[in-house]
Amino acid sequence: MYNLSKFGNELESHITLGDIFAIHRQLGAAGLAWNRAICPDKYGMFRTSDIANMTMDEVFLGDIYGLWTHTLSYWMYCKDEDAISKVTNQYYQQVKSGIIAEITELEKKVTSL
């Protein structure tokens, strides 16, 4: 059994794009990326068939605050600090909401036993 709170705590202390990506992949490897917020989606943010093995070219961030949508690979090398801050927060909030949703769902399942 995996401790989802551990992922939440790691996310709180690691807020670079690369760190968030690593934590997201760890969730996938642990079989904990089934919530819609962080699961694969052919036309969504995570255009992969497997979160555990997704690449930075399969993560699409942006389309916020007037920013164009680009891959995580693009954002990793972007020099615009304001844009980086915005997409980092976007990815952080997306993964955080997925972790919270998964904890909530698991608590419901345990309570119903």
pLDDT of residue 36: 79
Domain total in the chain: 1
What residues make up the domain containing 91? 4-104
pLDDT of residue 34: 75
Sign of the CA dihedral 92, 27, 18, 14? positive
Helix (H), strand (E) counts: the chain: 4, 2
Residue 113, domain member (yes or no): no
Residue 32, domain member (yes or no): yes
Confidence class for position 1, pLDDT limits 50, 70, 90? very low
Residue 109, domain member (yes or no): no
Residue 34, domain member (yes or no): yes
Pair of tokens at residue 47: 């255009």
Phi, psi of 46 (to 5 degrees): -115, 85
Q: Is the pLDDT of residue 8 over 60?
A: no
pTM: 0.83
pLDDT of residue 10: 59
Residue 23, domain member (yes or no): yes
